[in-house]
C-alpha cells in the first residue's frame, strides 16, 4: 500500500504494489507534501499503463527466460524449447541480456545483431523470438512501447551463412550418390548408410526416417507411412514437425524390394544377437540402438568424399535437392510437392525451395550471355 510519511528532511513517499516476491516498491523524498502526492498519482498511472510493472526491473535475459518457461515450454515440442534456449544462451552472453526491460531500446537490439557473428538463419530466428517476446510484454502492459517494432537489420557472418551452392547438390552428383546407395549391399554395420539410402529416395527428414517401423511399410502399394519422428537429443518418438508431416510417400519397386530385404535381414540379425525390438523399428543398429542424427550426417559427408565429391553437404541437403528437382521438372504441382515434403503450407515450399540448382545456374548464365551478346 502506498503512503506518505512526514520526516525531518521532508515528506517520504512510498509506492507499493503486490506482496512477497512479487512486490514492487519505489521510494522518494520531497520537500512539499503536494509534490509527494503528485508523484504517487503519477506512479499509480504509470503502473496501470504498464510502465511500472515489477517485471520492468528484470534483465531482458531473465524476462526472456521467464517468457519461455511460462508461455512456450508448456505448448511447444522439446526441440523447439531447445531452440528458444539456444537464443537465450546467446542473449545472456551479450550486453542485450543484461539491460533492464524498462531501459531496452531498438539501438540495444540492433547492437546485439551487429555483434552476433552468426549465420543469417540463426540471426533471423533470434530476431523472430526477440520480437515475439517483446510483443507479448507490450501487449501485457509490462512495457509502454515495443523497442523491437521498428526496422532491425540482420547482420550475418557470410562464412557461416549457407549459399545456394551449399544447399543444393548438382544433379549429376546427387544421381551418382543415389546410384551408389541403391547398388550397395548392406549389413547391420551399415545402418547409417541405409538411412541415407531411404532419405535419398524419399526426401524424409532424418528424424522421420529413423522412426520408421515395419508396419509403416506398404509393400503392395510401394509406400512408406510417416507418422512419427525420432528425437535424437531427447531420445523419444514424437509427432512429426508439422500437422501435414503425417503422410505417405511413394517409392519405386526396386527401392521397396531393397527395403523389405533389409527388414527381413535385420529381423534375423536382431534375433541372433538376442536384441529386443518391441516397436519393430527398422533402423536399430548392431547394439539395438537408433543411431543419432549427428552420426548420419557424419556418414553422409564421408560418403561424399569417398565418391570424389566435395563433402560440404549436410544430410538435409538431399531434401533440398530432391525438392528443387521436383519443382524444376515442371511436371509436378507445387501443392503435391508441399504435401510430399510434409510442409505446413505451400508458402514454406515456395520460400525454401524455389531456387535454382547449380546446373541450372550455369545454363541460365549461358542464356543471358547469348541474349546480351552483340553478335
Task: Identify the helix (H) or strand (E) that includes residue 28.
Answer: strand 24-30
pLDDT in tens, the chain (375 residues): 789 999 999 999 998 877 776 677 888 899 999 999 998 888 887 776 655 577 888 999 999 999 999 999 998 888 889 999 999 999 999 999 999 998 999 999 999 999 999 988 899 999 999 999 999 998 887 887 899 998 999 988 776 656 555 678 999 999 999 999 999 999 999 999 999 999 999 999 999 999 999 999 999 999 999 999 999 888 889 888 788 889 999 999 999 999 999 999 999 999 999 999 999 999 999 999 999 999 999 999 999 999 999 888 999 999 989 988 888 887 888 889 899 999 988 888 877 766 555 566 667 667 767 767 665
Contact 280, 237 (CB under 8 A): no
Query: How many Å apart are CA 210 and CA 213, to the nearest integer?
Result: 9
Question: How open is the CA angle 290-194-273, to the nearest 5 degrees?
Answer: 55
- At 142 the pLDDT is 86
- At 234 the pLDDT is 86
- At 358 the pLDDT is 57
CB burial string 93-103: b at 16+ within 10 A, e below: ebebbebebee
Domain boundaries, the chain: 3-49, 60-160, 170-360
Q: Which CATH architecture has domain 170-360?
A: Orthogonal Bundle (1.10)
Q: CA dist 283 to 136, 138, 275, Å?
A: 43, 48, 13
Please choose, from the candidates 317, 71, 372, 45, the residue with its C-alpha nearest in 3D space to the C-alpha of residue 206.
Answer: 317
Question: How open is the CA angle 156-160-161, to the nearest 5 degrees?
Answer: 65
Query: How many Å apart are CA 317 and CA 158, to the nearest integer?
Result: 19
Query: How many Å apart are CA 137 and CA 50, to the nearest integer?
Result: 9
Record: fold of 60-160: DNA polymerase; domain 1 (1.10.150)
- At 203 the pLDDT is 95
Cell numbers at residue 22, please? Answer: 512479487
Cell numbers at residue 35, please? Answer: 509534490
- At 160 the pLDDT is 63
Residues 6+ apart with CB under 8 A from 208: 226, 228, 229, 230, 240, 245, 342
In this structure, the number of other CB atoms found within 10 A of the CB of residue 104 comes to 23
Please choose, from the candidates 52, 40, 32, the residue with its C-alpha nearest in 3D space to the C-alpha of residue 13.
Answer: 40
- At 9 the pLDDT is 92
Alpha helices (runs of H) in the chain, residue ranges in sequence order: 33-49, 60-67, 78-93, 106-116, 120-139, 164-167, 171-183, 191-202, 206-210, 253-273, 293-306, 316-329, 334-341, 346-353, 358-372
- At 144 the pLDDT is 79
- At 163 the pLDDT is 59
Amino acid at each position: 500500500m502506498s503512503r506518505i510519511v512526514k520526516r525531518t528532511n521532508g515528506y517520504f513517499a512510498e509506492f507499493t504494489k503486490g506482496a512477497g516476491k512479487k512486490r514492487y516498491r519505489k521510494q522518494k523524498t520531497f520537500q512539499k507534501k503536494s509534490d509527494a502526492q503528485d508523484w504517487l498519482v503519477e506512479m499509480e498511472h504509470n503502473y496501470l499503463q504498464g510502465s511500472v510493472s515489477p517485471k520492468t526491473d528484470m534483465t531482458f535475459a531473465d524476462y526472456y527466460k521467464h517468457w519461455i518457461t511460462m508461455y512456450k515450454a508448456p505448448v511447444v515440442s522439446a526441440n523447439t524449447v531447445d531452440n528458444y534456449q539456444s537464443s537465450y544462451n546467446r542473449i545472456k552472453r551479450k550486453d542485450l541480456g543484461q539491460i533492464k526491460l524498462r531501459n531496452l531500446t531498438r539501438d540495444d537490439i540492433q547492437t546485439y545483431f551487429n555483434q552476433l557473428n552468426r549465420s543469417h538463419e540463426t540471426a533471423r530466428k533470434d530476431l523472430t523470438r526477440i520480437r515475439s517476446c517483446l510483443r507479448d510484454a507490450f501487449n501485457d502492459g509490462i512495457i509502454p512501447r515495443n523497442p523491437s517494432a521498428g526496422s532491425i537489420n540482420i547482420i550475418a557472418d557470410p562464412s557461416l551463412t549457407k549459399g545456394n551452392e551449399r544447399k543444393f547438390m548438382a544433379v549429376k552428383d546427387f544421381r551418382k550418390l543415389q546410384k551408389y546407395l541403391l547398388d550397395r549391399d548392406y549389413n547391420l554395420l551399415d545402418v547409417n548408410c541405409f538411412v541415407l539410402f531411404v532419405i535419398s529416395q524419399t526426401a524424409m527428414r532424418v528424424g522421420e526416417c529413423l522412426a520408421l517401423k515395419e508396419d509403416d511399410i506398404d509393400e503392395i502399394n510401394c509406400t512408406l507411412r510417416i507418422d512419427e519422428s525420432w528425437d535424437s537429443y531427447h531420445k523419444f518418438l514424437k509427432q512429426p514437425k508439422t500437422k501435414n508431416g503425417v503422410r505417405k510417400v511413394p517409392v519405386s519397386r526396386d527401392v521397396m524390394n531393397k527395403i523389405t530385404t533389409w527388414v527381413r535381414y535385420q529381423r534375423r540379425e536382431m534375433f541372433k544377437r538376442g536384441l529386443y525390438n518391441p516397436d519393430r523399428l527398422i533402423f536399430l543398429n548392431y547394439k539395438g540402438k537408433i543411431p543419432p542424427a549427428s552420426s548420419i550426417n557424419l556418414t553422409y559427408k564421408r560418403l561424399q568424399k569417398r565418391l570424389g565429391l566435395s563433402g560440404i553437404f549436410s544430410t538435409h541437403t538431399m531434401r533440398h535437392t530432391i525438392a528443387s528437382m521436383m519443382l524444376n521438372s515442371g511436371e509436378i504441382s507445387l501443392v503435391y510437392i508441399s504435401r510430399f515434403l510434409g510442409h505446413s503450407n505451400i508458402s514454406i515450399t515456395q520460400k525454401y525451395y524455389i531456387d535454382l540448382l547449380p546446373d541450372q545456374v550455369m545454363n541460365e548464365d549461358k542464356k543471358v550471355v547469348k541474349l546480351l551478346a552483340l553478335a
